[in-house]
């Protein structure tokens, strides 16, 4: 009788622990699904910026390339079944940053648009404004540094501290810092000397990942900027016709950065919050 009782007891214990283990595995799987990692895609569209941040079901886009890049960008979004953007950040209104914005707004559900606080004058800017009006969307024209959280991404968007000057679009770029887990990412728009000086004065620190400013063109204070940021991975949006300056490449490599040029190929970096992996 004791043997029978002991067998029944062991069976119950086994069933309970098995069930408990299954629940534990289920919880671990659920927890894992909440943190699908972060994918940072810099589209290979030459000397133009379009960057997509994907974290689970959340998506953020920084800049929209040229007008002729719209189809490429929409195809890329479709590849990942992205039908909406939580946020679209336009760093400034040069045609190689805002060109595809009207097409994105017309074809994708854009929940929030962030832009610098000035008005553009080119046709791409006017088409961007018209597309927003047609969709009944109002952009946030930032006048101060702003923090937002989207999914597991924490974004800090830095605004220029000087007044806008004619033909000063590049130096009026919004600059976005993204923090995911232990990793940090810096997207510097087309920042040139004046904007870089502001960033350094604001107490810019080190980052794991850098989208190199202004397509890899050298500014007077580029060295100070790169030595401060000291990225592990640096991505440059350039082309064979408009390559990055050799001095910029040399400095970044000397600092130990892995340098990637997004000319005709996408550069995709994945992070689990601890590591960075180039896909």
Does residue 132 lie within any of the structural domains? yes
117 DSSP 8-state letter: S
At 168, the pLDDT band (50, 70, 90 cuts) reads confident
Does residue 76 lie within any of the structural domains? yes
Does residue 170 lie within any of the structural domains? yes
Computed over every residue of the chain, the mean pLDDT equals 90
Does residue 66 lie within any of the structural domains? yes
Token code pair at residue 62 = 């920084």
Predicted local distance difference test score (pLDDT) of residue 15: 44
- Count CB-CB contacts under 10 A for residue 196: 24
Tens-place pLDDT, residues 83-141: 999 999 999 999 999 999 999 999 999 999 999 999 999 999 999 999 999 999 999 99
Residue 16 confidence (pLDDT) above 60? no
Q: How far is CA 54 from CA 18, 30, 229, in A?
A: 36, 19, 23
Share of the chain above pLDDT 70, in %: 87
* Distance (Å, whole) CA 91 – CA 249: 23
Residue 268 parent element (H or E): strand 267-271
Q: How far is CA 106 from CA 30, 70, 83, 139, 158, in A?
A: 35, 11, 11, 15, 27
Does residue 207 lie within any of the structural domains? yes
Residue 230's domain is classified under what CATH number?
A: 3.60.15.10
Token code pair at residue 267 = 């550069």
Predicted local distance difference test score (pLDDT) of residue 29: 35
Tens-place pLDDT, residues 235-275: 999 999 999 999 999 999 999 999 999 999 999 999 999 99
Q: What is the mean pLDDT of residues 59-85?
A: 98
Does residue 230 lie within any of the structural domains? yes
- Count CB-CB contacts under 10 A for residue 261: 22
Among 95, 92, 81, 98, which Cα is nearest to 132's? 98
Tens-place pLDDT, residues 203-214: 999 999 999 999
At 36, the pLDDT band (50, 70, 90 cuts) reads confident
Among 143, 121, 255, 248, which Cα is nearest to 191's? 248
DSSP bridge partners of 211 = 187, 235
Lowest-confidence region among 11-15, 32-36, 123-127: 11-15
Token code pair at residue 119 = 């008005």
As for how many domains the chain has, the answer is: 1
Q: ∠ CA 252-258-261 to the nearest 5 degrees?
A: 85
170 DSSP 8-state letter: G
- Strand 175-180: give its sheet, edge to edge: 146-150, 153-158, 175-180, 183-187, 209-211, 233-236, 258-261
Does residue 12 lie within any of the structural domains? no
In terms of residue numbers, what domain contains 142? 36-273
* Distance (Å, whole) CA 133 – CA 149: 26
At 230, the pLDDT band (50, 70, 90 cuts) reads very high
Predicted local distance difference test score (pLDDT) of residue 32: 38
Q: What is the mean pLDDT of residues 74-78?
A: 98
Residue 187 confidence (pLDDT) above 60? yes
Does residue 28 lie within any of the structural domains? no
């Amino acid at each position: 009788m004791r043997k029978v009782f002991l067998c029944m007891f062991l069976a119950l214990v086994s069933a309970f622990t098995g069930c408990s283990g299954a629940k534990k595995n289920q919880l671990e799987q659920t927890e894992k699904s909440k943190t699908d990692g972060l994918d940072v895609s810099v589209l290979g569209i030459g000397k133009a910026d379009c960057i997509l941040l994907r974290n689970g079901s959340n998506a953020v886009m920084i800049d929209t390339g040229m007008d002729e890049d719209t189809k490429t960008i929409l195809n890329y979004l479709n590849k990942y079944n992205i039908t909406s953007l939580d946020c679209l950040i336009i760093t400034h209104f040069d045609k190689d940053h805002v060109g595809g914005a009207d097409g994105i707004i017309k074809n994708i559900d854009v929940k929030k648009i962030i832009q610098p606080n000035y008005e553009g004058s080119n046709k791409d800017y006017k088409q961007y404004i018209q597309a927003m009006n047609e969709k009944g969307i109002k952009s946030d024209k930032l006048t101060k540094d702003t923090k937002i959280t989207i999914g597991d991404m924490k974004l800090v968007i830095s605004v220029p501290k000087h007044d806008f000057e004619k033909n000063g679009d590049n130096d009026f770029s919004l600059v976005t810092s993204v923090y995911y887990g232990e990793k940090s990412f810096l997207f510097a728009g087309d920042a040139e000397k004046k904007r870089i000086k502001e960033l350094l004065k604001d107490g810019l620190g080190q980052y794991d990942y850098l989208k190199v400013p202004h397509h890899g063109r050298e500014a007077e204070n580029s060295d100070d900027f790169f030595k401060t940021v000291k990225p592990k991975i640096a991505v440059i949006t350039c082309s064979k016709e408009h390559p990055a300056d050799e001095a910029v490449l040399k400095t970044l490599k000397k600092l130990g950065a892995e340098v990637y040029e997004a000319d005709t190929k996408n550069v995709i970096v994945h992070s689990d919050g601890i590591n960075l992996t180039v896909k």
